């Protein structure tokens, strides 16, 4: 359990850096659309997703965190002999702490923006971490 806390700290830091990078890309895409004369009023949700390039940013965030989780799970968990409970704790703590930090970073924004940003951070992180651990476990058990 002592080995878990540095891994959670590393996971939170890396996931936040990657998330904030893709959030910056989303803001830049929005500014580009506004510069081209797109009006922001009366936009549907799909138009807003396109304006922020949401689908590609979430996909790339998922992919980067998936690759990171594969390396983290192999070198930090399976070779160190950590258990499934510690894997679940890592996924939960990384997502919870990161979502809380995202929530605090958006303190002056509306509650909808805070919740939406925390969701866009947490949902891909949970999925990429789960798939990364599963793939690494399958490969690790087949090779050992």
* Per-residue confidence (pLDDT) for residue 70, from 0 to 100: 94
* Per-residue confidence (pLDDT) for residue 51, from 0 to 100: 64
Q: How far apart are CA 39 and CA 61, in angstroms?
A: 28
* Per-residue confidence (pLDDT) for residue 50, from 0 to 100: 67
Half-sphere exposure of 46 (CA within 13 A, CB side): 0
* Per-residue confidence (pLDDT) for residue 104, from 0 to 100: 92
Q: In Å, what is the CA distance from 2 to each residue of 6, 80, 82, 93?
A: 8, 11, 10, 14
> Which pLDDT tens digits describe the chain residue by residue (144 residues)?
678 899 999 999 999 999 999 989 888 877 877 777 666 555 666 666 666 678 888 999 999 999 999 999 988 888 788 888 999 999 999 999 999 999 999 888 888 888 888 888 999 999 999 999 999 989 888 876
**Per-residue burial over 16-43, b = 16 or more CB atoms within 10 Å of its CB, e = otherwise:** bebbeebbebbeebbeebeeeeeeeeee
Q: Are 100 and 54 in contact (CB under 8 A)?
A: no
pTM for this entry: 0.86
Q: How far apart are CA 22 and CA 16, in angstroms?
A: 10
* Per-residue confidence (pLDDT) for residue 37, from 0 to 100: 67
Q: How far apart are CA 5 and CA 93, in angstroms?
A: 9
């Amino acid at each position: 359990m002592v080995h878990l806390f540095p891994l959670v700290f590393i996971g939170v830091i890396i996931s936040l850096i990657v998330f904030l990078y893709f959030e910056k890309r989303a803001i830049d895409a929005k500014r580009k659309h506004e510069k081209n004369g797109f009006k922001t009023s009366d936009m549907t949700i799909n138009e807003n997703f396109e304006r922020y390039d949401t689908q590609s940013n979430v996909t790339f965030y998922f992919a980067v965190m998936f690759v990171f989780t594969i390396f983290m799970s192999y070198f930090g968990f399976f070779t160190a002999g950590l258990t499934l409970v510690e894997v679940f704790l890592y996924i939960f703590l990384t997502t919870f702490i990161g979502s809380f930090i995202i929530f605090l970073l958006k303190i002056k924004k509306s509650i909808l923006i805070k919740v939406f940003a925390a969701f866009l951070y947490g949902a891909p992180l949970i999925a990429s971490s789960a798939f990364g651990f599963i793939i690494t476990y399958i490969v690790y058990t087949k090779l050992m």
